[in-house]
Structure 1
Amino acid sequence: MKPELSVVKIGGNIIENESALGDFLNDFAAMKGNKILVHGGGRTATRIAGQLGIPAQMTGGRRITTRETLDVIVMVYGGLTNKNIVARLQGLDCNAIGLSGADGNTITSGKRPVKDVDYGFAGDIREVNGKAVKALLESGMTPVFCAITHDGKGQLLNTNADTIASEVAIGMSEHFETSLYYCFEKKGVLRNVEDDNSVIPHIDTESYKQLLETRVIADGMLPKMHNCFNALQRHVGKVHIGLPGMIAGKEDLFTTLTL
């Protein structure tokens, strides 16, 4: 039987809220067994870029990563945010190691092809080096991935953190029984976006299709759900979506996705 692994992704609302981040890191550090943390930091990057006179360029809710923007993203994601999280986990007796996809050649990607939009230095993941990540876990370390990958030719690339979490969970499923947790500011996938308590507790493939057809799942939740079911179809055991407290059993309401 394979050992268990939890891959946990935290969103920007948690990172930006000092109290919420502190509570989350306490809960994450207390999680038993193998675990990996994935984080973004887009709001902090946007704020610091603005202070440096670099305007945020967005289209359809996605960031255009210019060379100047990439410099800020590397500084914020790989430096300020990642190392603060790692240091705080060390203070909680969790032996964390901060990583980008370039470190240990753990995540390679390709620059997104230009079609209708040129997203600049945005990366689409090609491969997760599961053996390298497994070696870190077996040495007693907890990987903390920021949302940066590389193309194997010396170029860093900005990559969606939800996608990194999904692809890391998929890449590790060869070696572990993997569960994926998406922690954000809502209690789960909502049947009514105006009602925070209208959580759908369980979604499988059939109900997912119905929710898409009725547009209960729409807009910003679409790419997250795509990542979830992509992970399930590629041997990740379960995916959970909800408030950060769900990883510590503090929440009764959250959404679990299965095939």
Structure 2
Amino acid sequence: MKPSLSILKIGGNVIENKAELSQFLTLFSKLEGFKILVHGGGKLATEIGKKMGIESKMVGGRRITDEQSLEVITMVYAGLTNKRVVAELQARNCNAIGLSGADGNTIQAHKRPVKDIDYGFAGDVDGVNEGLLSHLLTLGLTPVFCAMTHDGKGQLLNTNADTIASEVAIGLGERYETTLYYCFEKNGVLKDVSDDRSVIQHIDTATYNELLEQGIIADGMLPKMANCFHALNNGVTKVCIGNMAMLTQNEKLYTTITL
């Protein structure tokens, strides 16, 4: 029987709220078994960039990563945010190690090809070094990934944190019974976006197609759900979407996604 592994992606709304982040990291540190954390930090990168006179450029909710933006993102994601999270986990007796995809060659990617939009130094993942990650886990370390990868030729790349979480989960799926958690501010996937209690508690492939047809899954939830099913179709056991309460034993109000 394969050992269990929990991979959690934490949204910016939690990362940037000290009280919520503290609460989340306490819950995360108490999770049993092997675990990996993936985080972004876009809002803070935008704020710090503004102080430096560097305006963020967004198209359809996605960041255009030019050379100046990449410098800010590297400082904030791989530096300030990542090390704050690692230090907080150490304070909770969780032996965390902060990583970007370049560290230990853990995640290689390529620069996204230009089609309709040039996203600049944005990375699409090619592969995950599952051997090294598995070794770190067996050493008792908890990897904490920021949303950055590299191309193997010296270039750092800004990479979607949801995608990193799903690709790491896929990479480790053969070795571990893997559950992927997307932790954000909502209770889960909602039937009605104005009603936080209208959580759809289970979604499988048939349900997903129905929800797409009805337009219930739309906008920002579309890429998140695409990552979920990409992970499930490539060896991940299940995916859960909800707020941090889903990490507790007594909370049943969140969305579980399976094939």
Question: For residue 131 of structure 2, what is the aligned residue in structure 1?
Answer: 131
In structure 1, the partner of 2:146 is: 146
TM-score, normalised by the number of residues in structure 1 = 0.99
Aligned to 1:26: 26
CA distance in 2 between counterparts of 1:171 and 1:64 reads 27
Residue of structure 1 equivalent to 2:172 = 172
Q: Which runs of 4+ in 1 moved over 6 A?
A: none
- Tell whether the 8 Å contact from 1:186 to 1:196 is kept in structure 2 after alignment: yes
Partner of 2:249: 249
Which ranges in structure 2 are unaligned for 5 or more consecutive residues? Answer: none
1:96 is displaced (CA, Å) by: 0.1
Q: Distance in 2 between matches of 1:49 and 1:70?
A: 10
1:34 counterpart letter in structure 2: F
Aligned to 2:187: 187
In structure 2, the residue matched to 1:56 is: 56
d(CA) in 1 for partners of 2:53, 2:250: 42
| Cα distance between partner residues in 2 of 1:250 and 1:22 | 20
1:250 deviation in Å?
Answer: 4.6
Deviation per CA, 1:24-76: give whole Å up to 9, x if none. Answer: 00000011110000000000000100111100101111100000000000000
1:230 to 1:101, Cα distance in 2 relative to 1, 3 A: same
Q: Which amino acid is 1:137 matched to?
A: L
Structure 1: runs of 5+ lacking an equivalent: none
SS in 2 for 1:188: coil
Task: Give the match for residue 235 of structure 2.
Answer: 235
- Aligned AA for 2:27? D
Alignment coverage as a number of residue pairs:
259
User: How high is the sequence identity, in percent, across the aligned residues?
Assistant: 64
Equivalent-residue separation in structure 2 for 1:225 and 1:5 (angstroms)? 20
Deviation at 1:251, TM superposition (A): 2.4
Asked if 2 retains the 8 angstrom alpha-carbon contact of 1:177 and 1:236, the reply is yes
**One-letter amino acid of the counterpart of residue 232, structure 2:** L
**Counterpart of 2:45 in 1: which secondary structure?**
helix
Deviations 1:113-150 (A, max 9, x none): 00110000000000011001000001000000000000
Cα deviation per residue 1:60-113 (whole Å; 9 max; x = unaligned)? Answer: 111000000000000000000000000010010000000000001000000000
